[in-house]
């Protein structure tokens, strides 16, 4: 997929979409953590929260690495997970969009 060329406009759209998904996912995580933490009464709950944070940190660090060679895969994943909506990718090359859509259906 690394042969895809991104125009300046596409680059801007991609970066905005990427940032939007990042904001959505991180804000949702913050909300979950705040809710879970407010209900902690025992050490077991605390370590459960720790495990959740370890997993999410690893996942988010890995996913939000803006890299052209993996961008279509990341966008497909973000669409599937609901952090990004199709209309937010409007303006990208139709070929790129169809690749992303196809991957999102897998």
Q: Does 43 bind a second copy (CB under 8 A)?
A: yes
Task: In angstroms, give the least distance from the CB of 73 to a second copy.
Answer: 22
Q: Which residues contact 25 (CB under 8 A, 6 or more apart)?
A: 60, 81, 83
**CA 8 → CA 11, 24, 51, 65, distances in Å?**
5, 24, 40, 19
Q: Considering only residues 47, 59, 66, 90, which one is a binding residue for a second copy as defined by CB under 8 A?
A: 47
Q: Residue count of the chain, please give it.
A: 106
Instruction: Return the number of the residue (4 or 49) whose C-beta is nearest a second copy.
Output: 49
Residue closest to 19 by CA, chosen among 80, 69, 89: 89
Q: Which residues contact 82 (CB under 8 A, 6 or more apart)?
A: none
Q: Considering only residues 60, 73, 91, 103, which one is a binding residue for a second copy as defined by CB under 8 A?
A: 60
Q: Considering only residues 16, 19, 28, 37, which one is a binding residue for a second copy as defined by CB under 8 A?
A: 37
Instruction: Return the number of the residue (13 or 29) whose C-beta is nearest a second copy.
Output: 29
Q: Does 28 bind a second copy (CB under 8 A)?
A: no
Sites of contact with a second copy (CB under 8 A): 26, 29-30, 33-34, 36-38, 40-43, 45-47, 49-50, 53-54, 57, 60
């Amino acid at each position: 997929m690394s042969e895809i060329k991104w125009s300046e406009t596409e680059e801007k759209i991609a970066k905005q979409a990427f940032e939007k998904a990042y904001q959505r996912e991180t804000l949702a995580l913050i909300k979950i953590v705040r809710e879970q933490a407010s209900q902690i009464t025992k050490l077991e709950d605390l370590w459960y929260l720790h495990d959740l944070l370890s997993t999410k940190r690893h996942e988010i660090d890995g996913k939000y690495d803006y890299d052209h060679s993996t961008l279509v895969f990341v966008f497909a994943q973000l669409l599937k997970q609901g952090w990004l909506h199709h209309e937010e990718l409007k303006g990208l090359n139709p070929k790129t969009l169809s690749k992303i859509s196809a991957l999102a259906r897998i």
